[in-house]
């Protein structure tokens, strides 16, 4: 599933689009393997492009968007690029494997 998310992010980034809110709520399962077809791969869709934007290669983005658990530290600093989506995908993977967020705290 994460491979498909990363392929999607590569597609978007090559077209100069940054999603800025990659999280489990925005990754939908369209279909999954069944007993009848166990070798069929998971099919996922990345959704909710409400915070997505076009970017210029080499320039920094300053607007702060995202969801607390998944947002890259650079986004909070207001100095980031499209790679913030990769950080968020890594957090999603961590949560899929461990069942908990990688960082904890009393507040956001």
Is pLDDT of 21 > 80?
A: yes
Radius of gyration of the chain (CA): 15
> Measured between alpha carbons, how far is 97 from 75 in angstroms, rounded to an integer?
24
Domains of the chain listed by start with CATH number: 2-98 (1.10.510.10)
Given the residues 21, 25, 48, 107, the one annotated as active site: 21
Q: Report the predicted TM-score, pTM, of the whole model to 2 decimal places.
A: 0.87
21 annotated active-site: yes
List alpha helices for the chain, DSSP H.
Answer: 2-14, 73-77, 84-98
> Measured between alpha carbons, how far is 69 from 11 in angstroms, rounded to an integer?
24
User: For 34-90, what is each residue's pLDDT tens digit?
Assistant: 777 667 677 899 999 999 999 998 899 999 988 888 999 999 999 999 999 999 999
> Measured between alpha carbons, how far is 94 from 64 in angstroms, rounded to an integer?
23
């Amino acid at each position: 599933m994460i491979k498909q998310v990363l392929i999607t992010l590569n597609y978007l980034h090559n077209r100069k689009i940054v999603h800025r809110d990659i999280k489990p709520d925005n990754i939908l399962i369209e279909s999954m393997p069944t007993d009848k077809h166990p070798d069929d791969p998971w099919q996922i869709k990345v959704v909710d492009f409400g915070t997505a934007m076009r970017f210029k290669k080499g320039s920094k983005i300053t607007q702060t968007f995202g969801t607390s658990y998944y947002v890259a530290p650079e986004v909070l600093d207001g100095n980031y690029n499209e790679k913030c989506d990769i950080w968020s995908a890594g957090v999603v993977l961590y949560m899929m494997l461990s069942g908990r967020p990688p960082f904890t705290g009393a507040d956001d």
